[in-house]
A and B are shown apart, each in its own frame.
Chain A
């Protein structure tokens, strides 16, 4: 449960006023269709806040997280953002887990001069409005979709020497669609051919019919941008159907549950690009993994946990550099100037579109373990 960790944050609420606490909103999908993503981020946030507060806070001020549930709904996300900015008067909002619910708040953040930091909204639209202008107050912790797609395509065409690939994307997520598009572009540019393009919709459980179609197109490789919940099932069902070619995906795959869902054996010969790897011996990462599983009774962190965690540190770093914990304008400038900040999910430098330039890691599954394959810089 997540009832326990509230005490710490609420304690500081009593000490009142804006003076000695830093109010940060968390506008997350805590219920509704993608509740598991929002909850994953919340866990990461809670851990980070606990660590920071226990070590004295930021400039002596404790962080107070005001968590709001947006029910995985854009309208609710808007409401929640308005509440956080107008009522709670937070300095920054972390959220939301999905791009759509992040976009829903972008305008409000700009209008109210409040930072919006989306932990996992990977669509380019989050930080850049439809008019092509950068949303002044909006940032993100994750890299954007096209980057990962490119990395995956280069890996397939180069390292694996694939000529014919199939793409099987989650059509309910712009994340997956974005990845699919950039994969296709890069892959074809590298001389490959996409022989089959299929889609599924999040929450599907039976993929056999489409897999049968893909199988008859005879690809040498299948790119599956999507989230682990479905990907696990897809890989399992595909292997059962005798599809033995390599699969590849992106950070959405990253969860310890993927191994359980697909089965260790089925996962052999599959690859993913990721923000980080829990197996990575890197010190920051291992420290995070240890304290996370300590706090959450042995659970191993996934990408959402890590991004939630990083979002807090990302923000705190900017606050420290801005020398001010409440002036959002100064903080956003500091955020925009972030350079070589070492986080769990990579070393971050923010570009002109408010997107972090981070390296991506390519991992391979071997007997249920992620094995580090290569690191790709942008």
Chain B
């Protein structure tokens, strides 16, 4: 029984990672940028949701939508101001900018509201179901379903819609995409808008589920989500989902065995092992450069 419980614990944890990883992987998939600021967009989303619920008394879903909208705009602004200039620069320059930006956002938020944590109001009722001694909370079921739905939605957008095709074209060759009549800037903005809205949503869900939010809350989940995305094969949307779940379950199992202090180490060891056998992640095609 305990083990089934642990598995369920792992899946709930993993679906949070997956939720953040989806946006991460999407942005990466299109512009090959490790958007370290994704974790900060997630944090902003959590705070917007918080102020909306606690400050203005909005309900959960209006607050969720508001957070997603604000984050979408925020993400687009980040791209516009910081990343667009670096389209033709090295990827590592863009990465450093992303790191700088992520610090900047953290500390601007701290400057205005301090570093102390905030407790999320109970905006979404939580019931715990007891199935044969195994507890499942309604929130974790909700989060898992939301991430699965979003994964399917994203996969659909990227592979079946026109904007999705444009995104993929842009991801392979921007100039060639222009020559197809694709507006590269709009496409990338759309990518950031969607990815950031997802991060915002994840922020609100995280807040409700874990209660505690603070300005540095994006760092660790951001990193974990990135690991999850890589684990699944970065850029591949179902990969983010699976990577998130694998990571969540691995971490939980390690804790369940009593090695909670080694949990993160175990997560990274699994990551490295998987990469050694599948250098492009679980779903990644090992597309070797054609010589």
Residues of A at under 8 Å CB distance from B?
Answer: 1-2, 31, 33, 35-36, 38-40, 171, 198-201, 203, 205-206, 208-210, 212-213, 216, 229, 232-233, 236, 240-242, 257, 259-263
Q: Of B4-12, B77-85, B182-190, B271-279, which stretch is located at the interface?
A: B4-12
User: What are 6 A-B residue pairs whose CB atoms fall within 8 Å in the complex?
Assistant: A198-B260, A205-B212, A208-B12, A209-B252, A210-B256, A261-B212
Contact among A33, A210, A257, A262 for B255, CB-based, below 8 A: A210
Residues of B near A31 (CB, < 8 A) are 107, 110, 115
Residues of A near B252 (CB, < 8 A) are 208-209
Contact among A33, A38, A200, A209 for B9, CB-based, below 8 A: A209
Are A240 and B137 interface neighbours, CB within 8 A? yes
A210/B110 contact (C-beta < 8 A), A33-B216, A261-B212 known: no
Are B211 and A261 interface neighbours, CB within 8 A? yes
Are A257 and B119 interface neighbours, CB within 8 A? yes
Are B116 and A198 interface neighbours, CB within 8 A? no
Q: Taking the complex as formed, is B175 at the interface, i.e. its CB lies under 8 A from any CB of chain A?
A: no
Which residue of the partner chain A has the closest CB to B130?
Answer: A242
A212/B258 contact (C-beta < 8 A), A232-B212, A257-B119 known: no
How far apart are the CA atoms of A212 and B9 in the complex, in Å? 9
Q: Taking the complex as formed, is B126 at the interface, i.e. its CB lies under 8 A from any CB of chain A?
A: yes
Q: Kindly list 19 other residue pairs between chains A and B, CB separation below 8 angstroms, not including A35-B216, A208-B252, A240-B137.
A: A1-B112, A31-B107, A31-B115, A33-B216, A36-B117, A38-B115, A39-B110, A198-B260, A209-B252, A209-B260, A213-B255, A213-B258, A216-B2, A229-B214, A232-B119, A232-B211, A233-B212, A241-B128, A241-B135
A1/B114 contact (C-beta < 8 A), A206-B13, A209-B260, A210-B255 known: yes
A-side interface mostly: helix
Q: How far, in Å, is B138 (CB) from chain A's closest CB?
A: 11
Are B212 and A229 interface neighbours, CB within 8 A? yes
Contact among B210, B256, B261, B264 for A199, CB-based, below 8 A: B261
How far apart are the CA atoms of A200 and B117 in the complex, in Å? 19
- List the 10 closest pairs (A to B, CB-CB), nearest first: A260-B119, A35-B115, A209-B255, A36-B115, A209-B252, A208-B9, A261-B119, A36-B116, A205-B210, A209-B256
Q: How large is the interface on B (under 10, 10 to 19, 20 to 34, 35 or more residues)?
A: 35 or more
Residues of B near A208 (CB, < 8 A) are 9, 12-13, 252
The residue in B13, B253, B255, B264 that gathers the most chain A C-beta atoms within 10 A of its C-beta is B255
Are A36 and B256 interface neighbours, CB within 8 A? no
The residue in B12, B115, B117, B258 that gathers the most chain A C-beta atoms within 10 A of its C-beta is B115
